[in-house]
Chains A and B, each alone.
Chain A
Amino acid sequence: MFCAGKPVTMLFNSLEFLLFIAIFSLGWPLARRAPASRWTFIIGCSLFFYGWWNWKYVLLLIATALVDFSAGLAIHTYRQHARKFLLGSIALNLGVLGYFKYWYAVASAINTAGGNLGVYVPGPVEQLILPVGISFYTFQSMSYTIDIYWRKLVPTRNVLHFLAAISFFPHLVAGPIMRAGKLLPQLLVGEQASPGAKAEGVRLIIHGYFKKVVIADNLSGVVGAAFSGAVSLHSGFEWWIIAVMFAMQIYCDFSGYSDIGRGIAKLCGYDFGVNFAHPYGAKSIREFWQRWHMSLSTWFRDYVYLPLGGSRGSEGKTRWNIVITMFLSAVWHGAGVTYMVWGLLHAGYMIVGRMASAASIRLVSWMQAPLTRLILWTQVLVAWVYFRATSVSQANSIVRSMFTMRSVAMGLSHTALIFLTIGIGYEVVMYFQDRMPQNRVIKGPEAACLAALAVACVYLRGPASAFIYFQF
């Protein structure tokens, strides 16, 4: 049922989405006034958006959402059995996620191992299409039942209300992972967005598209070609540049999607919160994770790291908790060993950071800031190589090449280097501009800049591609 075919939902950077959003914008002012019409309209549009390529996935989304809705009510109503309902709901969510996301890898591994041992293992194993956004909406749904179990949230008794929150299309397929406790109360009201919120919405949408179609898409060609070719095609110096390009690509791709989603929500009068806060401007690996994909990192903090004990126990226990959390975060991205190495590398960085902090290792004051940033960027870039590489051995070869630097030859596309420069310059400017208050009204010079960015989105756009995080 879920094998083969094209697995992509309606992309924010597609003509059909522009048509879809135009129709949504016409209907929203009428639908938003009453709760029932508002939720029905959101659900209808969101399911249409999600089922654009394959309606069968819509059934899966509705089914899992209905189970969690029922589980939430059951946990709240039958407190004596709450634990059973919660575990049942979690098992179902993780079971569905595991089936689609990890079954192929696990079964392939079993087949291979069986073959190596001379044991017949029935096959063949068919790779399933991963329903787009399943990792995002599953985590969102799980947070709902867990929060009810922890008595942090009172469940909604209206199934339309719950479905609207789960399926709301701006966050559905690639986050931010919206906690029910944050979105459900917002969806109770349908007031017109304030002028400041509208300005912020337009600002976020234009910046989001610029990051995605101008920066990320123009870097994707060089990065893709580099990682699909032989490592020896590039010098060590070039691999550093390619790693920086990928760092910019994945950041602009993912945060661009988040910004577009946040912007659409703002125009509807809702606030998703910040999902990326200039992570490459962080001063430590801990701060990096407080700024990168914040809705996921806080999810793991609240539902994995803190329940494990966080940093309340011994230093050894804390380190173990960090390793488990980062490992699970890596596995959330996929079953590939490269993701696991990426997660474990970050866990290692955090542990070393804690050790350095505990040992009060300090540098000469003027060296402290640049050197810590340099170390951080090096750590992050090396980890990104593992995240992007097609295999651990390829990543090992690249990293070896980066650190041995036997050659400093430079032959990368000038166009890609220009877009990398534009991307870095843009990010530096935005790092400072985002210190200004949100929801501010757009004034003359900023209006001109935004218009210029919108024009650039059309005439400087790179080859169209799906958002990287759709695959998770």
Chain B
Amino acid sequence: MQTPSAIRRLVRDSWPPAMVLVFAALVISLIALIRSPEGVGSSLTREQFWLRKIEQPPEYDMVLGGDSRVLCDLSPAVMTGVNHLRTLNFGFNFTGYEPRYLSALAGKLDPASAKRSIVLGITPRSLTPLNMRVSGFLEEISRTESEQLSIRYLGGALSRVRPVVLGTVFGELSGRKSAKVFYPDGFMSVELVPPDPEFELKTYSSIFLGNRVSEQGIQDLLVHVAEWADAGIKVFGLRPPVAPKILAAENASSGFDEAAFATRFESAGGHWLRPDASGLVFADGSHIAAGFVPIFSARLARSIAATGALPDMSDSMTKVGPRQ
């Protein structure tokens, strides 16, 4: 039996650890409440965006594949407006064309569609050994079931307690603002205010050191292109546009020969596209600024139509519209 003084001592000694936790919980909750949600204007949180993309059913006429230059440069909504095809952006950050990704990409096509097509954004980085091993796509498919459950059901709350990115904070302190918006069709817009076409230059000046474009990677990709073409899938390829200095840095150090690649791509059964990239503004030099994405996406859709590879696209809005 404890005496009243012993109980008082117990309470006195025990409250500080409990108060630490309660106080910390209050501060965490307060910050979560007053913070702007991630990706203002998005209907999805970042994690929900990725999860939704991975889990998309096979119901598309056209799938756009590639790394962040596809992810952030091509809007399916705009392209659908032009070509009336159900289109999914299946781009992921720093993703390489390795077999699992290519298989998942083709797996999003509607097997019953007569207009199955794949558009590949070919960047030197997407053909390097590093991106074949470490990629945003591989990270996403390795999520555990419990992670997926928490993203699905606690996504909003988790987004509120997302970590502060110090780089962004310092950028904002120096007057540079950045924003990302996540769209249900797989497109993610990026904005850097003011735009800085040399922001990514340092990365692209060094990323290919000891990590040049892999000939084996190209061969493996072209095998897939040939298989898809044989299966009746129309395959299009393009090199997404970048700021001139980034392009020069890539050409100088990546080992990527666009002209030679285009020839081999077409020999494998694909169609190489060179959509008009004039007048575009680049957010960070490597990605098109959000306001110019619709322009480029529409140009690309028209460029695809101009090849005549797909059946008449004017009446091709199939029974099921694009998921939103």
> A residues touching B (Cβ–Cβ < 8 Å)?
6, 8, 14-16, 53, 195-196, 198-199, 201-203, 206, 228-233, 411, 413-415, 418, 441-443, 447, 450-452, 454-455, 458-462
Beta-carbon contact of A458 and B130 below 8 Å? no
- Pull 27 A–B residue pairs with CB atoms less than 8 Å apart, ordered by A: A15-B146, A15-B154, A198-B14, A198-B17, A199-B13, A202-B20, A202-B21, A203-B17, A228-B130, A229-B211, A230-B210, A230-B211, A231-B210, A232-B210, A411-B202, A411-B206, A414-B170, A442-B17, A447-B16, A447-B20, A450-B20, A454-B24, A454-B28, A455-B24, A459-B31, A460-B163, A460-B166
B167 at the interface (CB under 8 A from A): yes
Instruction: Tell me how far the C-beta of A233 lies from the nearest C-beta in chain B, rounded to whole angstroms.
Output: 5
Does the CB pair A195–B13 fall under 8 Å? yes
B51 proximal to A (CB < 8 A): no
Contacts of B166 in A (CB 8 A): 414-415, 418, 460
Evaluate whether A454 and B209 lie within 8 angstroms (CB atoms) in the complex, with A195-B10, A414-B167 already known.
no
0 or 1 for each of B140-183: is its CB under 8 Å from A? (1 = yes) = 00101010001000100000010111110010000000000000
B100 at the interface (CB under 8 A from A): no
Question: Is the pair B17, A415 in contact by a Cβ cutoff of 8 Å?
Answer: no
Nearest residue (CB) in B for A194 is: B13
Contacts of A418 in B (CB 8 A): 166
Contacts of B206 on A, CB cut-off 8 Å? 233, 411
Asked if B133 and A228 make an inter-chain contact with CB atoms under 8 angstroms apart, the answer reads yes
Q: B16 and A14: CB pair below 8 A?
A: no
Distance of A53 Cα from B211 Cα, bound (Å) = 35
Residue B19 lies at the interface, judged by CB distance under 8 Å to chain A: yes
Given A199-B16, A228-B134, A461-B163, answer yes or no on A455-B150 (Cβ-Cβ < 8 Å).
no
In angstroms, Cα B202 to Cα A411, docked, is: 9
**CB contact under 8 A between A233 and B164, given known A6-B144, A15-B150:** no
B27 part of interface (Cβ distance < 8 Å): yes
Residues A199 and B17 in contact, CB atoms below 8 Å apart:
yes
Residue in contact with B16 in the complex, picked from A15, A414, A443, CB distance below 8 Å: A443
Task: List the B side residues contacting A462 at CB < 8 Å.
Answer: 163
> Bound state CA distance, A458 and B17, in angstroms?
18
CB pair B24–A451 under 8 Å, yes or no, is: yes
Q: How far is the CB of A7 from chain B (nearest CB, A)?
A: 11
Evaluate contact between B19 and A447: CB separation under 8 angstroms.
yes
Write the chain B residue with the least CB distance to A230: B210
Q: Which partner residue on chain A sits nearest B22 by CB separation? A: A451
Contact between chains at B202 and A455 (CB < 8 Å): no
- 9 residue pairs, one from A and one from B, having the closest CB atoms: A230-B210, A195-B13, A454-B24, A442-B16, A202-B17, A451-B24, A451-B23, A415-B166, A450-B20
In the complex the two chains form, what is the Cα distance from A233 to B27 in whole Å? 42
Within 8 A of A (CB), among B14-41: 14, 16-17, 19-21, 23-24, 27-28, 31
The answer on a CB contact under 8 Å between B130 and A459 is no
Q: Which residue of B lies closest to A453 (CB)?
A: B24
A51 to chain B, nearest CB (A): 14
Q: Which chain B residue shows the least CB distance to A10?
A: B146
Q: State whether B211 touches A451 (Cβ < 8 A).
A: no
A6 to B145, CA, bound (A): 11
Bound together, the chains give a CA A270 to CA B29 distance in angstroms of 32
Closest chain-A Cβ to B131's Cβ sits at a distance in Å of 11
Interfacial chain B residues near A447, Cβ < 8 Å: 16, 19-20, 23
Q: How far is the CA of A16 from the CA of B17 in the complex (A)?
A: 23
Chain A residue contacts of B202, Cβ below 8 A: 411
- Report whether A196 and B20 are in contact in the complex, using a CB–CB cutoff of 8 Å: no
Q: How far is the CA of A232 from the CA of B207 in the complex (A)?
A: 11
A459 near B164 with CB under 8 A, answer yes
Task: Identify which of B133, B150, B163 gathers the most chain A CB atoms within 10 Å of its CB.
Answer: B163
Is B16 a contact partner of A229 (Cβ separation < 8 A)? no
Contact A441 B144, beta carbon cutoff 8 Å: no
0 or 1 for each of B198-216: is its CB under 8 Å from A? (1 = yes): 0000100010011100000
- Assembled-state Cα–Cα distance A450/B18 (Å): 11
- Chain B proximity of A94: nearest CB distance (Å): 32
Contact check, A233 vs B209: say whether CB atoms are below 8 A apart: yes
**Judging by beta carbons under 8 Å apart, are B16 and A458 in contact?**
no
Residues of B within 8 A of A411 (CB): 202, 206
- CB closest chain-B residue, reference A442: B16
